[in-house]
Structure 1
């Protein structure tokens, strides 16, 4: 590996913005990879090193470059829930349809983890598909209920998803809706939100993607 590339990877991982600039100026490649195929931008995003990421984006770094686990800088913003990093990557043109190893887009892990600010921002500032279905048969709405804790953060995530047009009747691969999952898990607040949403949508009992 070019020694400048190694310096760039180390600088991005540490969030050393000056060292990132120096390595790039010395000829380091923005798309160089470490042993796990992580680019400098992905390393900066993982550490939430905003300034380093901004320098890399300005240098043309790819927000969609996947590593060995099919994670990318853009997808990882949904995992970390960093709104400022999400916004830093938008000028680079991230692929909103890019899928992680579970077949999910960035919105889905954000919903699962209860990242309210991220969910609010990505729904308002991008054209992300709110009802995308991953390989498990789950949408962001389903994942917020199935893997969430039923608390106030996940209730707010569900409100945001429903306000953005999420279909409360979409069921998982076994035909179970988010409302039914909420009832099964004893999440009374989520069950009320979802029941009201089903009523508003006409109460037609639809299920399935």
Structure 2
């Protein structure tokens, strides 16, 4: 079976449909690459990446910037988000950390939560009023990776507490609904995500670049429970 990375690669090449298979989320964090800035800021980034709340608080009190970033542009807040360090995230935001700056890989705090699926972290980041339209390296909002990875609780929280665009189309030509079907496994979590997306206005008529709708993808993959949900819309192919 093709990996998630392989499926995305095929989509970018425009040769997806004949080779669809199930996938699993992948990803790993790289070590902190420090910028040439003050020692306190560099220490803050390291402490945030490790989740060392006491050290973060001490450095902020001593004058370190809540918006410190490494030479890739990754902020202390994004490092804290990647490690799911909720208390550190809370402390940085309370000190004025901006949630929106993106690093070279186009990650920021909110977009990272879409990948990890941490509802607790999401709630902290939302307190900083992040820009919901910011997109990752694939042109997707935080909702899209959450949908394809099966983060049901996260998807529900994001849809119920924000006005994020449920029908945003990423650089692959996919909406969150398409990703939940194409990159999902057809099981209970992804099926419930499809239900949530539809309940919050997902347009099941939006097809991929090859003109294949979510319903057609679900039929091709034998995802019967998804098919039943998607068939409830007249004229959806």
Q: Shorter-chain TM-score: what band?
A: over 0.9
TM-score (norm 1): 0.93
Cα deviations by residue, 1:15-74 (Å, 9 ceiling, x for unpaired) = 111110111111111222123321110000000000000000011111111011001101
The number of aligned residues is 201
Query: In the alignment, what sits opposite 2:228?
Result: 192
Q: 1:187 to 1:204 in 2, by over 3 A?
A: closer
Q: Within 5 A, what are the aligned runs for 1:32-71? A: 32-71=68-107
Query: In the alignment, what sits opposite 2:115?
Result: 79
Query: In the alignment, what sits opposite 2:42?
Result: 6
Cα deviations by residue, 1:132-162 (Å, 9 ceiling, x for unpaired) = 1111110000000001111110001000001
- Cα RMSD (Å) of the superposition? 1.1
SS in 1 for 2:191: helix
- Give 1:205 deviation, angstroms: 4.2
Query: In the alignment, what sits opposite 1:19?
Result: 55
Q: 1:189 to 1:205 in 2, by over 3 A?
A: closer
Tell me, which stretches of 5 or more residues in structure 1 are unaligned? none
| Poorly superposed stretches of 4+, deviation over 2 Å | none
Tell me, which stretches of 5 or more residues in structure 2 are unaligned? 1-36
- Give 1:105 deviation, angstroms: 0.3
TM-score (norm 2): 0.82
Query: In the alignment, what sits opposite 2:188?
Result: 152
- Give 1:204 deviation, angstroms: 3.2
